[in-house]
Chain A
Amino acid sequence: MKKDKKKVWLPYLFLLPTFAGIIIFGFYPFAKTIINSFSFTDQYGEWLKWSGTYFWKNLFTYESGLFWKMLGSTLLFSGMNFVFTFTAGMALALLCVRREKINRFYQTIYALPIAISSVAASVIWGFIFKGNGGLMNTWLGIQTDWLHDQSTAIVVLSIITSWCHVGTTFLLLLAGFRSVPMDIQEAAMLDGASGFKRSVKIMIPMASPQIFFVVFLNILTAIKTFTQIRLLTYGGPQNSTRTLMYEVYYKGIELGEYETACCLSIVLFLLIFLITRIQFILEKKLVHYQ
């Protein structure tokens, strides 16, 4: 007991590196972002003087409502991403749910995009969807400039991003479905429930915590998508793929409008915060843990 008393500082010492990191790379820049969205700053991002709500007003009025268009693109992009990723992940997980040797092989393939960087995926998919001499055009026998056409760019971008993210969804759902107790399934099988019926009536409700988690994970990952937009569309055409995340980078780094980027970062934060709150509230109402 005496030995324990002597080492009361030990847990604090163990927590020190993590908390130093949280403060220096989390709370401090976050506070800086909030303060600087109401200030004028120099080129190093150092505070000069208060600007009041100057940049915030600017944000809502610049380029005739571009902000609202961006917010719309962000929501549309993450919505489509969620639909594609979730549907694909769900179908693949249900197909692979049996613990068979052959399914291990498929599991490796379906989850493989986890290992493939978004840069590599963008390069390859960019080639497939190229307007002039692209593979997709050859296959379909048409001439569409997929990534430079306002009506197709955001859809194609969502498909590409979904391909990148489906692996995680697939693995999470697979784990959820496989954790459904065998005896329940066997009982249903004895009662004559078909494979499809067992999926819909037993697997999906029983795995509701995982499904719920995956839904929100997909929405949040899509909101934070950057690489694919940066490498494939640069926010174009006609700003149709200019999401909040891309705009933070574009304003803050490319144009050097740091204060505006701070405002946008706060909006991005609030959006993510709102979604996590919704997740939290719905989780209490909808998800039943065993």
Chain B
Amino acid sequence: MRKLFRKVPLNVIKLILALAFIIPLIVAIIVSLQSIDEVNKLPYELSVADPSLDNFNFAMSQINLLGYFKNTIIQILICVPCQIITALMAAYAFSHFNFPMKNLLFTIMIASLMIPMETVTVSLFKMMVGWDLINTYIALCITGLINVSAVFMFRQNMLSIPKSIWEAARIDGCGHIRYFVKILIPLCKPIIIAQTLLSVIWAYNDYFWPMLVTTSDSMRTIQTGVAYLKDVAHPGVMMSAVLLILVVPVILFVFGLDSITEGVTAGAVKN
């Protein structure tokens, strides 16, 4: 009993912090339920007399959310599998083979991590303009086709798998490709799921690159489409649109928390 009593203040602090943390979401929900008059009222009050779903209806009917959503899904379906497969292949080569120039290639890969995407974006954009790829799915997906940090993550994971499994498989006549597809990939499943979840959330939430390469409304992704309306649409409508686009990543996050935690921490610190 005394132990419980001593714990109470800490839990109160945690609860208050948690509330403070999700205030933006609570605000968004309340604003989206308010009427136009309530949102425009001065000074503004965070209360809702007569909750209505008008804003959501308006957002769904007037904003091309489903079209944006389609573009994002296409982008994710192309980028994420491609990222995962290429990263798995590279990680397999680096973890299970000895070949000439291995160290040199590995160093080159580390060096590529030193060039942040942000510093080459303008040049990449000019390349897209030059190749006449603006407003195409190719331009939208092209930068998400590989993921070097995923290579490191997978390689680390593959190195931790006992060599004896590979030796046993080889004695049984298992070739490299069969071992890779049938044994190694299933063994790496947790880390693959973690990386997939993170990649999906990142691709879904990405703004900078999609904004650069999409100028027509029919090509906008979910983030660029909503951002484009930010200063045009009414706050109530904006909040409903934002809540609608939040649903997918939040669900993925809540149900995949353990996986995501693993993914976030796996690549971070060498121990």
Contact = CB atoms under 8 A, between A and B. Distances in A.
Interface of A: 3, 7-8, 10-12, 14-15, 17-19, 21-22, 25-27, 29-30, 32-33, 36, 41, 43-46, 92, 95-96, 102, 104, 106-128, 132-135, 137-138, 163, 168, 171-172, 174-176, 179, 209-210, 213, 217, 220, 224, 226-227, 231, 245, 248-249, 252-253, 258, 261-262, 265-266, 268-269, 272-273, 276, 289-290
Contacts of A261: 122
B129 A15 contact: no
Given A17-B86, A117-B223, A213 B269 contact: yes
Given A26-B115, A119-B207, A269-B116, A106 B18 contact: yes
B237 to A, nearest CB: 11
A interface SS class: helix
Given A15-B93, A138-B45, A268 B119 contact: yes
A117 B211 CA distance: 14
Given A15-B105, A135-B44, A273 B122 contact: no
A120 B201 contact: no
B129 A44 contact: yes
Given A115-B205, A122-B230, A171-B261, 19 more contacts: A12-B99, A14-B92, A18-B146, A18-B151, A22-B146, A26-B120, A109-B18, A117-B245, A119-B224, A119-B242, A123-B238, A209-B270, A209-B271, A220-B116, A226-B207, A248-B118, A252-B125, A258-B122, A265-B119
A119 B125 contact: no
A58 B43 CA distance: 47
Contacts of A95: 10, 13-14, 17
B257 interface: yes
B interface SS class: helix
Interface centre among B42, B99, B146 (most CB of A within 10 A): B146
Interface residues of B, number: 89
Given A110-B18, A175-B261, A176-B269, A45 B127 contact: yes
Contact of B146 (A17, A43, A289): A17
B60 interface: no
A252 B105 contact: no
Contacts of A43: 129
Contact of B265 (A19, A172, A253): A172
B11 A102 contact: yes
B245 A22 contact: no
Interface in B14-50: 14, 17-18, 21-25, 27-28, 31, 40-46
Contacts, number: 264
Contacts of B112: 22, 26-27
Contact of B122 (A134, A217, A252): A252
Nearest to B261: A171
Contacts of A26: 112, 115, 120
Nearest to A132: B42
B207 A118 contact: yes
A128 B145 contact: no
